[in-house]
Structure 1
């Protein structure tokens, strides 16, 4: 008997730099390598030119109101994804729909052709998608849109056939907020990526590199303040920042205000951002909260020690003093001292580099994790 088809459902674009996109594309690659029938369904799978035109309205009107921006995004991405899924599922037998957010899970639950089509969610979000929108666009907490998202999650998650948590932090947070989720079959499994290619492109040789969406939650302002503190201590450190987002203009202005603009390269969105990791000495991260942090395991795979705050699921990724260092996100001066100490100790860098490569290979490499995910999906 053949295995059911795995259908990945997401409101995200098919490719990009987010952890969500990295996760589902890595898993798709694994499934295809294993010869497992699979497919990716997004809102762009249904009448793409019309979808693009409808979604474009948000870019014009959205900046005037975070609530309208989120409402418009969710309403239309949901409707286009729902129609795309219905077209696929109505002619599909047994299948597993692997939803990448509660909104896509709702679309799958409402369009599946029968109970032999199972719906499993992977929880990428911090606390709630509403909180993600608050951090990204300033969606007002307690407002109508915010509360509607929280209500949807409380209604959808207990109806799932399974749920995958990227960390114990995520699992505990969701189960605390929505106790009914405790009865849903669950797997706690870290995110995973493939080993870097042997001929992976070398970066431009800066001291430090950071990869991630430029938004308030990611807290790249802290990194700029660390550079300024290090400069005051006589160390002129270079930083490569890869990623784009709503905070970019503020960060560029802050770099000028702090007098470190000559030390920072803002490279914006870069396809396959991990190719820039080689040639740098340390990966720096300052997120205020993080479900897991795929960029961290990509850095370890490339042998870069990590400096990050011990927030959210990050302590499940690496250990302080082994693969990197934890720093105090409220104290950039102390952060600068830790960073300088690491950069001046070649032996420590070498030990952390090797420890990071080993931890990646043992715990986060695709072939170590993707099979467990596939097995869980088949059991749901």
Structure 2
């Protein structure tokens, strides 16, 4: 199935970019013939070419420039007319503004991949005005949210986590010592870029309650500052001090060896508000960790509460603290959940994700009338 993917970003800095690379890697097994158009230059262009794909760069410029938009649409249309794909897939809603318009009047079916929750921002609103044969959402949760705002069908496609190398290099105790923590004390951590919706402040408030019951507990926040919320780090540091957690919870910034940090943790917390999917959740489960995540959101489709992890309502520190204590005070039950979590994570391999994506795209293709 010939599919032209239009990608607005060419920098490897998020889940949407990782999802594209996973699809590229597994495209042959999924029966997909891909070609890429990037709307900016960046390292992903070279990566795509290294995987044997034809990748073009069409510099889109600023969306607010009408002239630049029309020029980009025209250039994408020329690629469509020359390559003749069955589908033109905008990777994220911003891309669909260009690719959907470019596909009009051609034989290619315009579609897009909704990688986050729909919002009232200019980009999402403009994208919803562009006709589409259908769309993909990065979870059933996202598909339902987007489906309520558009007339075309939206199919949920759970993303993948590359868990092929999900094995700890050492025991949790050894890793704790290596990373500067007491090896004989429990470690509860949270991983993610520092954004308010990621809920690090909720984690801190929960930890303030946990330490009252288990004074020996240690905590860690792994993640760097997000460009759009530079002040969140300062607010977290202030809250940590107010709660008396300066010596309890470490804030270690962005780390390149995140699996090692998660492997050192006894409990991995994911406290996001309305998480679209939850790749970190799958990664932690693949490492055989006791995982606590929030609902509503994508994690509800990953974790079966009480079976392979725990789910708590977002922004409820009391509930999160109770869940953390449940894991720490009953290590046998936590170990059972962690074991089942490792098995569950296998459902989110890159290979199964590519097959899900290809199947959803085929189901959205308009029916071709039978010959008379």
Superposition TM-score tier, normalisation by shorter sequence: 0.7 to 0.9
Q: Do the aligned partners of 1:242 and 1:273 also contact (CA within 8 Å) in 2?
A: no
Q: Distance in 2 between matches of 1:116 and 1:275?
A: 48
Per the TM alignment, residue 231 of structure 1 is displaced from its structure 2 partner at its CA by: 2.1
Q: Counterpart in 2 of 1:162?
A: 134
Kept after mapping to 1: 8 A contact 2:190/2:220: yes
Query: Given that residues 303 and 311 in structure 2 are in contact (C-alpha distance below 8 angstroms), is that contact kept between their aligned partners in structure 1?
Result: no
What stretches of structure 1 of length at least 5 have no aligned partner? 49-71, 131-145
Deviation at 1:113, TM superposition (A): 8.1
Confirm or deny: 8 A CA contact 1:219 1:286 kept in the other structure: yes
Partner of 2:159: 191
Contact 1:165 1:189 (C-alpha < 8 Å) held by counterparts = yes
Q: Contact 1:81 / 1:104 at 8 angstroms: preserved in 2? A: no
Q: Kindly tell me: are residues 86 and 176 of structure 1, through their superposed partners in 2, closer, same or farther at Cα, counting changes over 3 Å?
A: closer
Cα contact 2:269–2:293 (8 A) shared by 1: yes
Contact 2:188 2:268 in 1 (8 A): yes
The equivalences for 1:77-88 within 5 A come to 79=69, 85=76, 88=79
The 1:330–1:155 alpha-carbon spacing in structure 2 relative to 1, beyond 3 Å, is: closer
Cα 1:99–1:264, aligned 2, differ >3 Å: closer, same or farther?
farther
- The Cα of 1:125 is off from its aligned counterpart by 2.0
Deviation at 1:111, TM superposition (A): 2.7
2:247 to 262, 270, 288: 262
Q: Structure 1 residues 319, 92: closer, same or farther in 2, change over 3 A?
A: same
Local SS of the residue matching 1:121: strand
Counterpart Cα distance in 2 of 1:87 and 1:268: 44
SS class of match (2:284)? helix
Conserved? CA contact 2:157–2:360, under 8 Å? no
Would the alpha carbon gap of residues 329 and 377 (structure 1) be closer, same or farther in structure 2, given more than 3 Å must change? Answer: closer
> Contact between 1:42 and 1:84, CA under 8 Å: does it hold in 2?
no
Q: Measure how far apart 1:85 and its partner are.
A: 4.0
SS in 2 for 1:31: coil
Instruction: Say if 1:45 and 1:84, in contact at 8 Å, map to a contact too.
Output: no
Change (3 A) 1:307 1:83: farther
Shift in Å at residue 292 of structure 1?
Answer: 1.8
- 2:87 alignment partner, SS class: strand
Q: Judging changes above 3 Å, is the alpha-carbon distance between structure 1 residues 212 and 11 closer, same or farther for their aligned structure 2 residues? A: farther
Distance 2:129 2:133 in 1: 14
- Does the C-alpha gap of structure 1 residues 240 and 323 become closer, same or farther in structure 2, counting only changes over 3 Å? same
Structure that is richer in helix per residue: 1
Alignment length (residue pairs): 328
Matches within 5 A, 1:87-106: 88-89=79-80, 91-106=82-97
Alignment partner of 1:283 is 2:264: no
Corresponding residue number in structure 2 for 1:122: 113
2:236 is paired with a residue of what secondary structure? helix
Q: Is the 8 A contact 1:287 1:311 kept in 2?
A: no
Match of residue 109 from structure 1: 100
Does the alignment pair 1:152 with 2:126? Answer: yes
Pair 1:221 & 2:189 matched? no
Contact 1:90 1:113 in 2 (8 A): no
Instruction: Out of 189-198 and 301-310, give the one that drifted further.
Output: 189-198
Alpha-carbon displacement from aligned partner over 1:113-171 (angstroms, at most 9, x marks no partner): 8633333212222232x3xxxxxxxxxxxxxxx4x445414312xx2122112333222
Cα distance, 1:317 vs. partner?
A: 1.6
Q: Say whether 1:45 aligns with 2:35.
A: no
1:243–1:269 contact (8 Å) kept in structure 2: yes
Kindly indicate whether residue 223 of structure 2 is the aligned counterpart of residue 242 of structure 1.
yes
* Whole-angstrom distance in 2 between the partners of 1:200 and 1:33: 29
RMSD: 3.2
Deviations 1:70-124 (A, max 9, x none): xx97547x85975874574454232533322222111112234863333321222
CA-to-aligned-CA distance 1:27-62 (integer Å, 9 cap, x gap): 12212676854344333239x9xxxxxxxxxxxxxx
Deviation at 1:220, TM superposition (A): 1.0
Partner Cα separation in structure 2 for residue 110 and residue 22 of structure 1: 26
Whether 1:28 and 2:24 are equivalent positions in the alignment is yes
Q: Distance in 2 between matches of 1:262 and 1:287?
A: 24
Q: Per the alignment, in what secondary structure is the counterpart of residue 126 of structure 1? A: coil
2: CA distance, partners of 1:266 / 1:33: 41
2:26 alignment partner, SS class: helix
CA distance in 1, matches of 2:85, 2:320: 52
